[in-house]
Chain A
């Protein structure tokens, strides 16, 4: 198997992400008439902390990713021993 990172993600170049995402939002607001509202950092922190309690980002920015990936594979196999095909069939 090749490097499980696929594309090595130890540290993203966030200025590049932000530049491109800014284009995305510009496109979304000006072309698609989407509504993008910016929250205060305090409000955002409150929302995001709640989101963290609801989800878990596995995290691909760490150098331990290869080890974590092996753990994820085991977790995936245990949680979805028959894959996720049945969920896709029923819910989508």
Chain B
């Protein structure tokens, strides 16, 4: 899991003049456009460090993925409106993830990704690969500074490492204020180079799952390159209303498969997986092949967000439309409402709606005896599903003036396989069970 999104830029504010306050606001808003996740504007009276830390638990039901994540973002403010931000994330992951095969009316045995052992899924259950366990460490660094009176420049770098994956990225963004700093236009670019070194090496796309100790259909390390470009406009409309409009282009090329995902090979009439005795007790009990995705993906995203202040309460609404050349379209609506309940305490309900269509090469299974398609994946994340997140955050100021908060949220995914893809007995099985997860987070900001 994870992302280089923790690259963070600060924004400037001095208490010397109103103009610099407006600059700070403009910088803060435009900072969002290219950097991923900027820090909020803070009135900085002197240079120094401040820290934003969080401990997050993410847990899926049914023994699926569990993640415990520690995050620290440190920011050094300099007197001349320059900022250095350093981020650290450590994730500890355990649990099981769907391997892509369909449930069957009898038990199924699969070879583990390492090729060293097998695991068995009981009848009528969704096959889960329970072998993954990983620790991920990610670091980010960024520098932001003004360029002249109206420009802001930020540059950053990110890197992460886990057992089977490494990432390195660079990013930069330039923003300019117009119209008494009520309008900010920005452009950003990010490049990343990632390397995959899967457990048991990389399976060849659409190659069959083999028995234990047979890695003959595996190849070596693979790489992925990603280019992201973001253009944005931030506009202040009134003293209580601010909006942002972004267009993002993303081009990923290279190895884009999930090396641990497979598809069932099924009978064209019954829809049942084809049994095999080829491997005895030392390999799969039915035919499966590893997934295969195109080696390029181009995404376009349109994002807009509004923040509206209503006598102490703040409404935060955003919408994103994403479309890509894998023919996935998605819509995301996010609503937050910050509601002060005293001078030092607030609650913030949050609700998020998400829906996506399936990739053109999404297949619930492949039919035995038919020619293999060029690309196929049964990864539920490329399927047709809706998701909803609902939760509440409670925040308060400590006696020392620092900020703490706790949030609890629930996430549910409900998917469906396109009806034309289900065959025979598949129609009576729950091939795409809901995913339910809980998100619990504690945050502490201090040092400013």
Chain A partners chain B: no
B residues lining the A interface (CB < 8 Å):
none
A residues lining the B interface (CB < 8 Å):
none
